Amino acid sequence: MTSSQFPTLDVRIERFPITGSFTISRGAKTEAVSVVAELKRGSHTGRGECVPYPRYGETPEETLKVLQAMREAVGRGLDREALQAAMPAGAARNALDCAFIDLEAKSRAQRAWDLLGRPAPQACTTAYTISLASPANMAAATEKAAHRPLLKIKLGGDGDRERIMAVRRAAPKSELIVDANEAWLPSNLEQNLAACAEAGVTLVEQPLPSDWDEMLGRIRRPVRVCADESVHDRKSLDGLRGRYDAVNIKLDKTGGLTEALAMADAAKALGFDIMVGCMVASSLAMAPAMLLAAEARFVDLDGPLLLARDRDHGLRYDGSLVHPPDSALWG
């Protein structure tokens, strides 16, 4: 290709109001702030959306600068393969990686899954998140969502047994997974896991801070445990064996769909169950992750359901059933 055939890169910050608020153990927010990378070549445009995560030292403003700094390399011919070494795993690389895939698919008049040699995604059931609050308030929110087959319950430390039991009473038929977002301690880990087992919880996500998760390898785990903050890309998988039963693959952690697909293959080979997860964001951020759904025991792609409004051509949700993206959205 000549330089004129290489794409140009535009980057912007976008904001989407959340219905009410979204609360986890680290705090609450009322809007989703994402960064969108847009690659243009001729008549084709490829897009990718990421959500910078303060837990990993990322901010929208810094992510914007990191992506803007890639314009020259993209204009010189940087491609998706070279991108994997040119940028570290994280939100910024995710946006650009997904934009490259979208652009390549549109340029070849293919769907992204055909381009990548993956099965076409099918409609699947996503978890629906119940934010952290008092037991009474969580029960009230759960009651409104009790018709959904899979609920993800955000927990936060003190009082979690009461929260778990209140949620179970409010949704006796739903499958429950819980996410402590690193809020439990060695002193309450076993009693909280026991409460989850008593309530029939299927999976507990990231109960301990990532630096403390060696304890998970020393106790009997009555409920299967999933790594989130403790797992990022393929390099982090080996150290989790014996501590976790599953891993949560999020594109903002892996640095894009390219690494996420490779990580899913590696995780399965090591015997881990897979959850495909998301940050609170629009359908553009969810769409690439749909390619992982076929590999996943749990799908948690409810971000747009938590927004007051989604972007145009968003994913179609029938209750908790999420459908594959239209090419007008991505891929």
- Over residues 161-175, the pLDDT tens digits come to 999 999 999 999 999
pLDDT tens digits, one per residue of 206-223: 999 999 999 999 999 999
**Where are the alpha helices (H) located in the chain, listed in sequence order?**
60-68, 71-75, 80-86, 91-107, 112-116, 135-144, 160-170, 189-198, 251-254, 257-269, 283-286
Give the C-alpha separation, 218 to 228, whole Å: 19
The verdict on whether 250 is a catalytic residue reads: yes
Cβ partners under 8 Å of residue 205, min gap 6 = 152, 177, 178, 179, 180, 181, 225, 226, 227, 228, 248, 275
- Using DSSP, state whether 312 is helix, strand or coil: coil
Greater confidence (35 vs 158) lies with 35
Domains and their CATH numbers in the chain: 3-110 (3.30.390.10), 124-322 (3.20.20.120)
List the structure tokens of 139. Answer: 């029960």
Give the C-alpha separation, 205 to 244, whole Å: 9
* Mean of pLDDT over the chain: 96
Q: Which residues pair with 307 in a beta bridge?
A: 18
Which candidate in 106, 152, 154, 253 is catalytic? 154
Starting at the edge strand found earlier in the chain, the sheet holding 27-41 runs: 8-24, 27-41, 44-50
Backbone angles phi, psi at 53, to 5 degrees: -120, 115
Which candidate in 29, 144, 152, 250 is catalytic? 250
Residue 34 near residue 16, CB atoms below 8 Å: yes
What's residue 24's pLDDT? 82
